[in-house]
Structure 1
Amino acid sequence: MNETQPLAGKVALVAGGTRGGGRGIAVQLGAAGATVYVTGRSSTAGRSDLDRPETVEETAARVTAAGGTGIAVRTDHSDPEEVRALVDRIAAEQDGRLDVLVNSVWGGDGLTDWEHPLWEQDLDTGLRLLHRAVETHIVTSRFALPLMVARRSGLVVEVTDGNTARYRGSFFYDIAKSTVIRLAVAQAAELKPYGVAAVAVTPGFLRSEAVLDHFGVTEADWRNAVAEDPHFAHSETPAYLGRAVAALAADPGVMAKTGRALATWGLYREYGFTDADGTQPDWAAHWADVLEEEHGPLGDPL
């Protein structure tokens, strides 16, 4: 194994790799040497209804610049035929090989209602959130898993928010993120006989592009927002999540973790990776120190 690029020769698909955690994962898999197919709805051909500036092409270019091979494929993961065509392309171009599948599709920021209980929410909006954040993962796994099963090896990563049963503050948001963990558990059970692992992974307070925009800062001056939200001082970049996933993908013993809900704050201790600035943020430790008295414990991992 190449110690500097332990994923050299490996093939990954990061579904929902346009921005945020998905982008961070794609780039770090590239830094570890992988060929990464980056997919999502926002591309140079046009933005999705989220109307964000980031594109799959930009992420793919970052993958290549990091040392891997980035391949952008505009894909709507809610459309089974588009996903089928994507997987057929990967199979044709990579001789049937797929080593890592990352289900990071989200698209629910504008659909999440943080103010109202279920009985006061718009039902169509909530169900659309579940369609985007859960059904897309199922569709993608349905078509991608046969490549891993055929080779009897691989890793599926379900990207979520939180790794415990703690309620996440909004009904449909909570159902989506909790269900994604259960998707990892269910896939792990069915894939285990074939030597394929499946896990859920969560970041802490993620400093995504959208979060930076919310605070009116950039990655260069993000600490200016700490005065507005002191907890932001303990946030982490998408690279931290990416390095966690890359470490899992390079771990020959990853099957020991199959079916588990994991977090950057636990994985950095095991694998020793750092965030982009060399720090090792630990959201769970911050929660225990500052937030637990008011909000209760995070709880045990699922």
Structure 2
Amino acid sequence: MNKNLKGQIALVTGASRGVGKGIAIGLGESGATVYITGRTIKPINNNTDGSLQETQTAVEKAGGTCIPIQVDHSDDKQIRQLFERIDEEQEGKLDILVNNAYAGGQTLLDSFSKSFWESDPTLWDVANNVGLRSHYITSVYAARMMIKRKTGFICNISSWAGVSYVFSVPYGVGKSSCDRLASDMAQELKQYNVTSISVYPGIVGTEMTTNFDWKEYPDSFKTAFGHGYYNWETPLFTGRAIAALASDPNLIKQTGRVRIVAEVAQKYGFFDKDGNRPVSFRSLRFSLPMANSFLRKYPWLVPDIKIPWFIILLTMLSSPKI
């Protein structure tokens, strides 16, 4: 990767594992100095939990500079202190904020078979306190730094649950709100040359999903997450997408929009960790092979054509719960 981000300062929240770890590596290999946050500093005996030290090692192996800071993003005071430290250490410079922290993954999976009225009302807080509210808090502090220098990039990690039902009511509302947060912040930040975007990864092979016991869930759930890991992305793919966006000198023209990782890869010409380039979930090459085992073996037979959003939404609305 080119060192297009050399000299830039980035912050990735929730980067001890999964997509956050991949984003930190992607920004690091592009030359940025990357601050990362999470609750776990040192490795523990569980390969799905991850740690900030492990992410730091991976970023440095990729040629980047990484600064880990232990932060609980449910605590506003700790978030404020995080930005005070970055402000002091970098003399007010912060170029990139990636809002990725999320704390409700396992709880959402545990409550998968329940409707919202059957779940404890606190499911809302589990899904959206760190996964949405903390994004707003970090964006407030980041914006205060960025507008002073009249440059910056705030990125919310969302998902296609922002446009259709996935998992549960609190999850979908939270992701939709992440998109709206990015869009509305863009309205107020554009005059200061600060870009605000929401990003949709595809089906990502994180530590959790690759070690997942799929037998406990219905076929519709398995179908939604790919037969035989078809078209899965690595966490680094999202990292490279954000690095590519951050390197675009005309990024402000995309402010307020949703960007799909696979489509960003196609636009900017980069590949995933394994040298492949997964297609967008709104590509015909994604949807047809998902429903046909023969085409999953020969996906190149299907043209990589984008399906209009309204058709995707109609299909999702008629699909079983996922």
TM-score, normalised with respect to structure 1 = 0.87
Structure 2: how far apart are the matches of 1:24 and 1:212?
15
Instruction: State percent identity of aligned pairs.
Output: 34
Question: What letter matches 2:265 in structure 1?
Answer: Y
Q: What does the per-residue CA deviation read over 1:129-183, in whole Å, with 9 as the maximum and x for residues that have no partner? A: 2112111111111222211111110100100112752222411111111111111
Matching residue of 2:287: 288
Does structure 1 retain, via aligned residues, the 8 Å contact 2:226–2:232?
Answer: no
Map 1:8-87 → 2, pairs under 5 A: 8-44=6-42, 52-87=48-83
Question: What letter matches 1:31 in structure 2?
Answer: E
Shift of 1:41: 1.1
Structure 1: how far apart are the matches of 2:312 and 2:235?
21
Shift of 1:125: 2.5
Structure 2: how far apart are the matches of 1:135 and 1:261?
19
Q: What does the per-residue CA deviation read over 1:92-123, in whole Å, with 9 as the maximum and x for residues that have no partner? A: 11111000000001111122122122221111
Matching residue of 2:253: 256
Which residue of 128, 131, 143 corresponds with 2:129? 131
**143-152 vs 283-292, which moves further:** 283-292
Q: Does 1:270 align with 2:284?
A: no
Does structure 2 retain, via aligned residues, the 8 Å contact 1:114–1:170?
Answer: yes
Structure 1: how far apart are the matches of 2:119 and 2:286?
29
Does structure 1 retain, via aligned residues, the 8 Å contact 2:260–2:280?
Answer: no
Q: Which runs of 5+ in 2 are unaligned?
A: 215-221, 293-309, 315-322
Matching residue of 1:106: 102
Structure 1: how far apart are the matches of 2:270 and 2:92?
31
Question: What letter matches 1:175 in structure 2?
Answer: V
Q: What does the per-residue CA deviation read over 1:60-101, in whole Å, with 9 as the maximum and x for residues that have no partner? A: 222122111100000111211111111111111111100000
Question: What letter matches 1:27 in structure 2?
Answer: I
Map 1:185-264 → 2, pairs under 5 A: 185-214=183-212, 230=227, 232-264=229-261
* Residues 291 and 213 (structure 1), Cα distance of their counterparts in 2 relative to 1, 3 Å cut: closer
Question: What letter matches 2:267 in structure 1?
Answer: E
Does structure 2 retain, via aligned residues, the 8 Å contact 1:163–1:201?
Answer: no
Matching residue of 1:221: none
Q: What does the per-residue CA deviation read over 1:259-285, in whole Å, with 9 as the maximum and x for residues that have no partner? A: 001111211110011000110001422
Q: What does the per-residue CA deviation read over 1:207-261, in whole Å, with 9 as the maximum and x for residues that have no partner? A: 0111111159xxxxxxxx99x9525121010011111000001111111110001
* Residues 185 and 163 (structure 1), Cα distance of their counterparts in 2 relative to 1, 3 Å cut: farther
Does structure 2 retain, via aligned residues, the 8 Å contact 1:25–1:243?
Answer: yes
Structure 2: how far apart are the matches of 1:299 and 1:5?
38
Does structure 1 retain, via aligned residues, the 8 Å contact 2:36–2:67?
Answer: yes
Shift of 1:297: 4.3
Question: What letter matches 1:211 in structure 2?
Answer: T
Cα RMSD between the aligned structures? 2.6
Question: What letter matches 2:142 in structure 1?
Answer: A
Which residue of 170, 173, 176 corresponds with 2:174? 176
Question: What letter matches 1:157 in structure 2?
Answer: C
**151-160 vs 123-132, which moves further:** 123-132
**159-168 vs 25-34, which moves further:** 159-168
Structure 1: how far apart are the matches of 2:133 and 2:180?
13
SS at match of 1:37: strand
**96-105 vs 178-187, which moves further:** 178-187
Structure 1: how far apart are the matches of 2:69 and 2:27?
17
* Residues 273 and 8 (structure 1), Cα distance of their counterparts in 2 relative to 1, 3 Å cut: same
Matching residue of 2:312: 298
Question: What letter matches 2:183 in structure 1?
Answer: V
* Residues 11 and 125 (structure 1), Cα distance of their counterparts in 2 relative to 1, 3 Å cut: same
Shift of 1:54: 0.6
Structure 2: how far apart are the matches of 1:215 and 1:269?
32
Structure 2: how far apart are the matches of 1:215 and 1:168?
19
Structure 2: how far apart are the matches of 1:9 and 1:59?
20
Question: What letter matches 1:148 in structure 2?
Answer: M
